[in-house]
Each structure stands twice: as C-alpha cells, then as structure tokens.
Structure 1
Amino acid sequence: MDNLWNIGTVKAVMERHGFTFSKALGQNFLVNPSVCPKIAQLGNARKGFGVLEIGTGIGVLTNELAKGADKVVAVEIDSRLIPVLEETLAEYDNVKIINEDIMKLDLAKLINDEFAGLEVAVCANLPYYITSPVIMALLEQRLPIKTITVMVQKEAGARLCAKMGTREMGAVTVAINYFATAKVLFNVSRGSFMPQPNVDSCVVQFELRDSTPEGVSDEKFFFKVVRGAFSQRRKTLCNSVSSALGADKASVIKAIELAGLDANVRPEKLSMQQMIDFSENLRKLI
C-alpha cells in the first residue's frame, strides 16, 4: 500500500482496524515520506539480501524494505497490528510477519530457516526503552548479520556511536565497538512521527566485525568489568570497578598501572586495548 507515511492514510487504516497507540510499547509511527526509503537504501534492502525488521508499526518501513530486498521477515510484538499489516502489505509475496517478542526468539534458527543463501541485514525503528537490549542481543549472539540499521533517540545515538576514549562513551559504547563499527547516518526530527515524541531521533548503523578484538580470555568477565567501570560515571575507574565488583582497591590500582595508566584515570579515557589490558590484569589479580 502506498502513502503509508501520509497522516490521513495512517488514521484511516487505524480507524478501520480499531487500532490505538500503545504508550507501554512506545509506539510512534513514521509520517515523513523521505525517511523510510533512505533507511531501506542505506540498510542493505537490495538484491541478494534478506532483511530482518524489528517492530513494524503499520508497515511503512516494511513496505520500502520489501521493494528492494529478496525477502523481509518482520517481527512485531503487538498482535493488534497483524490484521493491519495483512492489509498494508498485501501486495508483497516476499514478506513474512512473525507476531513475537524479538527478545524471546531463537534468532540463529530464524535466520538459518528464513534467509538461506542470502546475506542478512537488520533494520528497525525501535521503541527507545528497548534500544540497547535489542542491539546487544543481536551483537552478543554473533549472528551472521552484515549490518544493523536502527532508528534511535538522538542522544542515545551519540552514545552508541561514540569513539573510544571520548567523553560521550559508556558501557554500551565499549560493547558496540567490540563487535562492530558504528556511525550515525542521518538525523530525524520529532515532527516525523505520529504521535510526536518529545525528542529528536537519528538513524545509526553498525557494521559487524569479522572478528572481535584479540586478548580477551573471558568475555563474561570483560563485560562485567566494563559495566562496573561505567556504573558510577563521576568516579575514577578504580573506585567504580572496586565498588561494582567488590574488588580490593590495591588490586584494581595495580591492574590499572600494569595497563600503563594513571591510578586516577577515568573509564571514558580508555581505548579498547587499554580496557582489555586492564580487564585481563584484574582477572589475574582478584
């Protein structure tokens, strides 16, 4: 169905199906005609690719993805939208809708079953409250995905795509840099949505690395250290980690110094290699 971005079309479709927005699910539908074609183009919706879409709305992005990709599998948690999508996507035979919670699906099996012989990309317009958990689930499972292209809150996008060693970085920044390279593609104003949110958005993209950084002997411990390091942002690396992990300060300081860092360094000053070196030193000392 064309004109799915048109406010009049959106209202008419919603009225036909008795649909109302759910605040609990963070639903804001795109009504800017230029945004979804751009996401589809930059997000690898093209021949030879299968696209996993997370969160469909009424299908405005799904519609654009289906025009370019060989196959689209869209996962939508809200069962009320299924009859809406059956109408708005009726013309496409390369779209499959799955009414499930993305966090509860076996994504490796889904990709293997649905996208055999295809490269795989992920595209999503995610509710802000679930952005980081979904992105981390996709990355940590080491799925055979080329890119993840996601609409996020503008402020969150800056943090997700921050460079290591900069003030904007946080624990999620380290995790993303560990698994992928990240960049902001373009900004999207709050007026592009219905209902209009209180913040602006941006579209970010993560290109998954062929291999993760070397030197991490225990990933679970490494990310425990990373979360601990940024658990109290105003504190030094030593104070944050010792508090979060219940580690002796003397051991933490020694691990920091063995990594060639000042004992009073703050976590946002560390490069990826320094974070790895610190974690490995600490693992041996506690």
Structure 2
Amino acid sequence: MAYLGNPARTKEIINKYHLSAQKKFGQNFLIDTSVLEDIVSAAGITKDDTVLEIGPGIGTLTQYLAEAAGHVIAVEIDDKLLPVLEDTLSEYDNTKVLNSDILEVDIKALSEAENNGKPFKVVANLPYYITTPIIMKLLEAGSPVESITVMVQKEVADRMQEKEGSKEYGALSIAVQYYSDPRVVCVVPPSSFIPQPGVDSAVIKMTRYEQMPVEVEDEAFFFQVVKAAFSQRRKTLVNGLSNNKELGVSKDMAGDALEKIGRSRTERGEKLSLEEFGRLSDVLIELKK
C-alpha cells in the first residue's frame, strides 16, 4: 500500500526537503501504519467517495486515502509543503492539493466544483490549536459533509462525546452531538508521531445526522443559549443566561423557563441534556414574546 507511514521513509522526506514541524500550523507527522489504516477503515472510504483532507502535511495519510478513494482533495495552508506533496503524491492521479486555509474555503462551492454537489467524507490529522473552529465549520448547517474522521487531542475527543453530568461536558459536546453521532475509534500515543506531541491523541468519527435528534425553533438562538450556559461554568444557569446581554433574558425569565422544563432555578449548565437545552431555548423564545 502506501509507503510514507514507514518512519524511515518519513524521515527521508523530512531530511530531503529540510523540513521542521511548524508549531504555528500545529504540525506533527504521523508514522504509525496501523493508525493510518484504522483512520481509513473507520472513515469507510470506497472508490465512490470524494475525500476532503485537511492538512495533508507531507502526504502520509493522503497516500492511504488515494489508495481507497475515488478522489482526494487535500487542503494545505503551508505553501512550503506544496513541492513535497507534488513529490509524494506523484504516483496518484486522483489527488488534488489546494493551498488554502480551510476556515476560508467555501466547502459548498468546492463540493459543486469537485464532487457534483455531493457531500464529502472529511478525514484529517487536525492541528490541535484550531480543532474546534474547523469542526464547527464542517458541522454547521449547509456544509456538504457526510462524515468527519479526524485525529484530535484525546481530551477534546472525550469532550465531544461526553454526556450531561460530566465536568468535561460543555458547549462543544452539545454542538457535536446536535449535528452528529461521535464515536472514538482509537487512542494514539505520542510515539506515533514525529515530533512527539506532549499529549495522547485520539481518532474520532462524527457521522452527520440526516435529521437532527432535537428540533429547535431557532437554531441560532439555541446555540446562543448553550454558549451562555457554559461561558461562566461556576455560575447557575439563571445567572449565566441573564448575564449574556445578547440573549435579552432576565433572571426571572430564565428561572421560569427552567421550571417549565422541570428543572430547578439553581441548576447549572452541565446538568442539562441536549434535549433539555432544546426545550429551554424554545421556552425562552415563547417567554420573550
């Protein structure tokens, strides 16, 4: 199969191009073939699929994706890696590299241009410093994305699939679970990378829901409520919601809404489930009328 998962070959490419991992781009080069195979397997890629890869680096995972997929579009922000990718992907005529910041890419337009408007399967070894903005861009309504299989910091992966009642449960947990079904595929130790990061990583797959598990009257307002609920974790929900000026919710209104969904006025955000946050936002909309 692909050969860049071999540590010796990876080091050869790094030396050939005088590369060093760029901290500003969160670069770590994956050198564990079993993890590479697990990622491709978990993503469920076939020759019928067009894969959108974020941050291909030197093309290690890209090679594995090219073997399995019909087409791979790799978005790389670091222009110094373009000649490297031209070299390592030279044997694959089903790959295309875009030199761009994924946060600035119009994914819908890219899907129209490259995939007949069909949704992508996204696969990536994500930079840890910018994981959440990328995940949210991919999940938000309207993004043509079928599934997202990514390597992230383990604690972030854990947070994505946490349920109410946990200290790790928060706005990211609710957002990811509103749009998708998240499942951790495997935990990846620092020794699987060059250079070695200081933390464990994990591969997580988010399968996008065709229909959201919770129906809300106003999605934007729902997410405002969730954000306000966790922006001051030590405060009660009544205080968190009323302190957020954008919501336009008083303490009495917040307390009344909580009681209407069967919760105490002294409740904190981490105690409410995704479904309860949905009901809370709908009740607040009614009370504001």
TM-score bracket, normalised by the shorter chain, equals: over 0.9
What letter corresponds to residue 276 of structure 2 in structure 1? Q
Whether contact under 8 Å (2:54, 2:123) holds in the other structure is yes
Paired position in structure 2 for 1:130: 130
What letter corresponds to residue 256 of structure 1 in structure 2? L
Whether contact under 8 Å (1:50, 1:69) holds in the other structure is yes
Structure 2, unaligned stretches of length 5 or more?
A: none
What is the TM-score of this pair, normalised by structure 2? Answer: 0.94
* Aligned-partner Cα distance in 2 for 1:272–1:50: 32
SS, match of residue 202 in structure 1: strand
Counterpart check, 1:272 vs 2:246: no
Structure 1, unaligned stretches of length 5 or more?
A: none
Whether contact under 8 Å (1:167, 1:269) holds in the other structure is no
Paired position in structure 2 for 1:70: 70
> Which among 226, 246, 249 is matched to residue 247 of structure 1?
249
Paired position in structure 1 for 2:207: 207
What letter corresponds to residue 281 of structure 2 in structure 1? S
Whether contact under 8 Å (1:71, 1:94) holds in the other structure is yes
* Aligned-partner Cα distance in 1 for 2:156–2:71: 30
What letter corresponds to residue 140 of structure 1 in structure 2? E
> Which among 258, 273, 285 is matched to residue 256 of structure 1?
258
Alignment CA distance shift 1:111-1:73 (3 Å): same
SS, match of residue 51 in structure 2: strand
Alignment CA distance shift 1:218-1:147 (3 Å): same
Alpha-carbon offset, residue 118 of structure 1: 5.8
* Aligned-partner Cα distance in 1 for 2:142–2:166: 26
* Aligned-partner Cα distance in 2 for 1:181–1:66: 26
How many equivalent residue pairs?
286
Q: Percent identity?
A: 45
Alpha-carbon offset, residue 214 of structure 1: 4.7
* Aligned-partner Cα distance in 2 for 1:20–1:208: 35
CA displacement 1:171-203 (0-9 Å, x = unmatched): 011111111111111110011111111000000
Alpha-carbon offset, residue 65 of structure 1: 0.5
Whether contact under 8 Å (1:45, 1:66) holds in the other structure is no
CA displacement 1:58-84 (0-9 Å, x = unmatched): 111101000011000000100000100
What is the TM-score of this pair, normalised by structure 1? Answer: 0.95
What letter corresponds to residue 284 of structure 1 in structure 2? E
Paired position in structure 1 for 2:227: 227
Alignment CA distance shift 1:141-1:78 (3 Å): farther
